[in-house]
Structure 1
Amino acid sequence: MRINTGIKRGDDYDRFVVSQEQPLLEFLLENVKQSRTKIKATLQGRGIKVDGKTVTQFDFTLRPGMKVAVSRSKRNQQEFKNRYVKIVYEDRWIIVIEKNIGILSMAAGHSSLNVKSVLDDYFKKSRQKCTAHVVHRLDRDTSGLMIYAKDIDTEQALEHDWHNIVYDRRYVAVLSGEMEEDQGTIQSWLKDNKAYITYSSPVDNGGKLAISHFSVLDRTTEHSLVEFKLETGRKNQIRVHAADMGHPVCGDPKYGNGDDPIHRLCLHAWLLCFYHPVTGEPMEFETPVPTAFRQLFK
């Protein structure tokens, strides 16, 4: 069903009135004379308003009578830019980001740089009435994909059923030395001491069982590029298991051997696959292996 368009001249927006309930992206594709890619870019660039409020979620539900304004000017779109955080996906319940090295997942102590506060600031500026809820963590110097919930119910759903919701999670790491085996599984019990160093034991030491599957993607005589698939997600699991194998993660100040070829912890969460905690839809995200990792294997 077509809608009436009321375009006010003299401003940078095309304006529409909604006549039937439907998702925002579907509405825009039907009514805006732009390609799907351009419309998505306008959404991401904060160039769409619904009843005066900026909306970035493509699946936002429109109802009859709502007013939609679509920016014609690229200058109007205050695209989210942050050197530490890149938004990969967002809807009304969750946000998936790619984290750079050098930023914590959540606050620790006063004024620490963390992803949660970056996202909370973004939500405030984009007039979203929500906050970022942490459901899993990456170390400060590990890069890669993370999910944050946008409300407490979604956070609870993710936390309580994390093992069933997340069906594939993989990391890539540069390990010190040439790995002997092409693939395998390592399991041990991990327990922290009072100084927060995680210790590994082949028998139950009262800690938590940790299981990591690994496969070597590339190797030189100095280094190995290894993919890890986690069966359990314990603190420092990959770093401790890599050290157990005699091939610690490069650039690891805690469990490493001083081998630091690119001056960073060489650990990246590259693949994240999960069932959406609200819709149940399979969601699959991946990021490229960092260029600096690959260059060691040219």
Structure 2
Amino acid sequence: MSEARYSQTPLSFDAPPLPGEVPARLPSPFDSGPPVRLARMAAESLQQRLRREHARWEELWSPGGGKMFGVLVVATPGGRLGYLCAFSGMLGGAWEVEGFVPPLFDPVARAAFWPAGEAELAELGRRYEALKEQAAWVARQPKGREAELRALEALRREVAHERAERSRSLWRQLSVGFEVPNARGGHRSMSALFAPRPPPGGAGDCAAPKLLACAYRHGWKPLALAEFWWGAEPLGGGRQSGAYYPACDNKCGTVLPFMLEGLEVDPAPVVPSTPGDEDAVRVLHEDAALLIVDKPHGLPSVPGRHSPTRDSVLVRLQSRFPDLTAARFVHELETEVSGLQVIARDTATQSALQRQLARGEAEHRHVAWVEGLLSAEQGRIDVPLRGTTSGTLETLAGLNHHKQALTEWRVVERSDARTRVLLWPRTRHTMQLRIHAAHPLGLGLPLVGDVRFGIEDTRLMLHAESMGFIHPASGERLDFSSPAPF
């Protein structure tokens, strides 16, 4: 196998592929099935290289140290087949490693500010964990130290807020000028792809975007892609070394559909709903006027504008209910949120349900865990929102904004350094509950797992657990519930 650098020519196969092994069009990166044989051949060659260089990449086998790797089979303008290799994020503390494609961003520009920022984030993380342990210890002591516990929690919230803001600031600094190419020769900034929300941390750093960008830069045609995990499994589990996985939804679900524009690509698969499947969209009620569904965590309500067939609640339901459109969602749940949502099947039903929600005649209750211990038992948050999701917490909400936003809440459980609360959004704004939880004029405590306003966890601990309203056609009261999975 040739060890040619990525900047000169793709790596060569040990044996030339047979004509029938070349796909007519690029298989979907979101297909969870095994990659085509041509992509597996390239992946197996990379895996052999990683085995040979085991001592060099020993860190991959430390607890939680594994990562995703990827290969992309390409054809040069002259018709020669070869493949490119990539890794997610960094490898061995470096963004550029010989034999692997470079990142999308300019490493030189990043080096001017990123190391100092990462060191600052690490120190804030250590401070946060120390305060968390200290607060947990105080909470286990006999009563009489409530004031000390409140002071520790207040300080921990300040550190968490400072770390989140610093992380977002670093990412915004990097994403300025972060240009994403596609097969048509077009370019779009990372910020524009995720607008109106800011790009999630690490967007564009997965293997697949790096591989496609390198192919476009050199005029090579992408033919087949495969991504696999190598090394120790993540601390939370879910990945096995050598196993193949589809492109992630959180980041690549937005980036790749744009990058693939101009290529012949198989459509992204629609994941079928099966009883008992925790990732299924469960239909709890259906009639001629409306649907009630239970949405799993991690699935968008509707596909993005660059990916109309992207896996989502709408796309999964359209095979069964072809009349559904994105406009009929009475309310969307964010990708990270799970639980109940109602979908109208005609304009009159949609208008009637929206009126019930606006007048407080319909109820939609959420349950969540927040970081920290709330001293009060219940309350009402009346903090207006700016009407956008782009900006810092301070600029998104405040008394000087004009879009009224109301949330009622009640504590149901306290556990160590977290509080479980019920939330009733009395108005409907994107990210209202997340903003009202984290904002100092709200709960002052971010939701557990809120990477935007708090600290990353296994998931965002927010679930729409109950819903009740009057059916616009029959006049019957309907009530539904869905137990939180956390």
- Structure 1 position 94 matched with structure 2 position 290: yes
Q: Which one has the largest radius of gyration?
A: 2
Task: Report the CA distance shift for 1:113/1:197 in structure 2 as closer, same or farther (over 3 A).
Answer: farther
How many angstroms apart in 2 are the aligned matches of 1:272 and 1:193?
Answer: 26
Structure 1 partner of 2:339: 144
Shift of 1:174: 0.7
Q: What residue in structure 2 maps to residue 186 of structure 1?
A: 381
Q: Distance in 1 between matches of 2:446 and 2:337?
A: 14
Q: Match of 1:209, SS? A: coil
1:264 to 455, 459, 465: 459
Query: Secondary structure of the equivalent of 2:385?
Result: strand
Counterparts of 1:249 and 1:84, CA distance in 2: 24
> 2:319 corresponds to which letter in structure 1?
D
Structure with the larger strand share:
1
Deviation at 1:175, TM superposition (A): 0.4
Residue 259 (structure 1) shift: 5.3
CA distance in 2, matches of 1:86, 1:168: 20
Q: Which residue of 1 aligns with 2:397?
A: 200
* 1:87-114 Cα deviation digits (max 9, x unpaired): 1111111110000011111121313321
Change (3 A) 1:220 1:80: closer
The structure with the largest helix share of the pair is: 2
Q: CA 1:119–1:197 in structure 2 vs 1: closer, same or farther (change >3 Å)? A: farther
Q: TM-score, normalised by structure 1?
A: 0.63
Q: Structure 2 CA distance, aligned partners of 1:84 and 1:122? A: 14
Helix, strand or coil at the partner of 1:180: coil
Show CA shifts across 1:53-105 (max 9, x none).
xxxxxxxxxxxxxxxxxxxxxxxxxx952733011111111110000011111
Q: Distance in 1 between matches of 2:410 and 2:355?
A: 30
Is 1:170 the equivalent of 2:365?
Answer: yes
In the alignment, which residue of structure 2 is the partner of 1:103?
Answer: 299
**Rounded Cα–Cα distance in structure 1 between residues aligned with 2:313 and 2:331:** 12
Count of residues in correspondence between the two structures: 203
RMSD, matched Cα: 2.2
Cα shift at 1:144: 0.4
- Unaligned runs of 5+ residues in structure 1 are 1-78, 125-129, 294-298
Structure 1 residues 196 and 112: alpha-carbon distance in aligned structure 2, compared to 1, 3 A threshold: farther
Aligned-partner Cα distance in 1 for 2:371–2:298: 22
Judged with a 3 Å threshold, the aligned counterparts in structure 2 of structure 1 residues 280 and 205 are, in CA distance, closer, same or farther, namely same
- Distance in 1 between residues matched to 2:450 and 2:301, nearest whole Å: 18
The aligned amino acid for 1:105 is: S
Quote the offset at 1:247 in angstroms: 1.1
Gaps of 5+ in 2: 1-271
Superposition deviation, residue 115 in structure 1:
0.8
Match of 1:222 among 417, 425, 428: 417
Distance in 2, Cα, partners of 1:194 & 1:184:
24
- Relative to 1, partners in 2 of residues 1:259 and 1:195: Cα closer, same or farther, differing over 3 Å? closer
The answer on 1:118 being equivalent to 2:316 is: yes
**Residues 19-68 of structure 1: CA deviation (Å, up to 9, x unaligned):** xxxxxxxxxxxxxxxxxxxxxxxxxxxxxxxxxxxxxxxxxxxxxxxxxx
CA distance, structure 2, for counterparts of residue 196 and residue 159 of structure 1 = 28
Residues 146-190 of structure 1 deviation map (CA, whole Å, 9 limit, x = unaligned): 111122332233345542475211100010011111111111111
What's the secondary structure of 1:155's corresponding residue? Answer: helix
Is contact 2:360–2:426 with CA below 8 Å preserved after alignment? no
Residue 84 of structure 1 contacts residue 101 of structure 1 at CA under 8 Å; is this kept in 2?
Answer: no
**Cross-structure match for 2:352:** 157
Contact 1:165 1:276 in 2 (8 A): no
Contact 2:357 2:363 in 1 (8 A): no
How far off is 1:222 after superposition? 1.4
Structure 1 residues 274 and 267: alpha-carbon distance in aligned structure 2, compared to 1, 3 A threshold: same
CA separation in 2, counterparts of 1:186 and 1:165?
15
Instruction: Give the percent of matched residue pairs that are identical in Structure 1 and Structure 2.
Output: 29
Change (3 A) 1:144 1:90: same
The partner residue of 2:426 within 231, 235, 252 is: 231
User: What amino acid sits opposite 1:181 in the alignment?
Assistant: A
Task: Decide which of 260, 266, 276 is 2:471's aligned counterpart.
Answer: 276
Matched to 1:103, the amino acid is: L
- Distance (whole Å) between structure 2 residues aligned to residue 242 and residue 211 of structure 1: 12
